[in-house]
C-alpha cells in the first residue's frame, strides 16, 4: 500500500496554540493552514474511543483518575480546555466519531495514533480501526493509523486490513525493516532526537516514507527535510510550514 505523507502534521491538533486532542485544536490546525493533524485515541472504561494522550485525566482536563477506569459519560462532563487557556473553557474531550466527522466536514487529513492504556492494546487497535472503517467514505483516502503498540497494529490490520498503518517508535531499532514488513506497515514514524542522515536514507531507500516527531524549531525542521524526511509532526505546524519543501 502506498501512502503519501504531507510535509507537515499538526501534533495533537496544534498543541502549542490550542488544547491538545480537542476539536478546537483540530480547527486551530486548519486555521493555521495545516492540511493534516495527528491525534491520540484510547478507550474509556466502557469501551468508548476518545481523543486523549495520557492514561490519566489529570493533565488535560479538570478531572482526575485513570481513563480506563472512567466511563465515557463521566469524561464527557469534564472541561478539556480551561487548563490550557481561559478562552478554551468549556471545550470537551471529543469522541473519536466526532473527530472523524470534523475531518469529513473540513477535508482535513489525519494520522490517528492508537494509544492504548496498558493491557488494552488489542481491544483499542480493533475498535479504532473498526470505527474508522465503518464511518469513512469509500471515495476518500482514509486517515493513516499508527501506534507504538505492535499488538494494536496487528489488531487494526485484522479489523480493517485496507486502512494504511505506520509503525511508531522512539528510537530506531536495528530490526526496523523486519518489523515494518511483519506488521505490513506503509510508513515509519520516529522521534527526531537520535535520528541521523544515514538512517533516514536507509529507511527511505527501502521505500518507506518517514514522519518524525515532535519538531517545533524551523531550523531543526530544515535539517531533517534536508536529510530526506518526508513529514514533520509539530506543535507549531505553522512554523514548520514556513520551511517545508
Ligand atoms: O505520533 C507522533 C507522536 O504523537 C508520538 O508521541 O507521545 O506525542 O503521542 P506522543
Ligand atoms: Mg501522538
At residue 100, the pLDDT reads 98
At residue 44, the pLDDT reads 98
pLDDT lower than 50: segments of the chain: none
pTM confidence score:
0.98
Ligand 1 within 6 A of 42 CB? no
Ligand 1 within 6 A of 213 CB? yes
What are the residue boundaries of the structural domains of the chain, listed by start?
A: 8-41+109-241
- Ligand 1 atom nearest to CA at 233: 2
User: Taking the domain 8-41+109-241, which CATH number applies?
Assistant: 3.20.20.190
Whether the Cβ atoms of residue 41 and residue 128 lie closer than 8 Å to each other: yes
**Burial (0-12, 13-18, 19+ Cβ within 10 Å), 6:** middle
- List Cα–Cα distances, 52 to 11, 71, 170, in angstroms: 12, 14, 19
At residue 226, the pLDDT reads 98
Task: Return the percentage of the chain with pLDDT > 90, whole number.
Answer: 99
At residue 2, the pLDDT reads 83
Pairing of strands 210-213, 187-191: parallel
Amino acid at each position: 500500500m502506498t501512502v503519501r505523507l504531507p510535509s507537515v502534521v499538526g501534533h495533537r491538533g496544534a498543541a502549542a496554540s490550542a488544547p491538545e486532542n480537542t476539536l478546537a485544536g483540530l480547527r486551530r490546525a486548519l486555521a493555521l493552514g495545516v492540511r493534516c493533524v495527528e491525534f491520540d485515541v484510547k478507550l474509556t472504561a466502557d469501551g468508548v474511543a476518545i481523543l486523549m494522550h495520557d492514561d490519566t485525566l489529570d493533565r488535560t482536563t479538570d478531572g482526575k483518575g485513570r481513563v480506563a477506569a472512567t466511563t465515557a459519560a463521566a469524561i464527557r462532563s469534564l472541561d478539556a480546555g480551561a487548563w490550557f487557556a481561559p478562552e478554551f473553557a468549556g471545550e470537551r474531550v471529543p469522541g473519536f466519531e466526532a473527530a472523524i466527522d470534523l475531518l469529513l466536514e473540513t477535508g482535513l487529513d489525519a494520522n490517528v495514533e492508537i494509544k492504548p492504556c496498558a493491557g488494552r492494546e488489542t481491544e483499542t487497535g480493533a475498535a479504532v480501526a473498526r470505527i474508522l472503517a465503518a464511518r469513512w467514505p469509500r471515495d476518500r483516502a482514509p486517515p493513516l493509523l499508527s501506534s507504538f503498540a505492535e499488538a494494536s497494529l496487528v489488531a487494526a490490520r485484522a479489523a480493517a486490513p485496507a486502512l494504511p498503518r505506520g509503525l511508531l517508535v522512539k528510537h530506531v531499532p536495528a530490526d526496523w525493516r523486519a518489523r515494518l514488513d511483519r506488521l505490513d506497515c506503509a510508513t515509519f514514524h520516529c522521534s527526531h532526537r537520535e535520528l541521523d542522515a544515514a538512517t533516514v536514507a536507509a529507511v527511505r531507500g527501502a521505500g518507506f516514507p518517514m514522519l518524525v516527531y515532535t519538531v517545533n524549531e524551523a531550523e531543526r525542521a530544515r535539517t531533517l527535510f534536508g536529510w530526506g524526511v518526508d513529514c514533520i509532526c509539530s506543535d507549531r505546524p505553522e512554523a514548520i510550514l514556513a520551511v517545508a519543501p
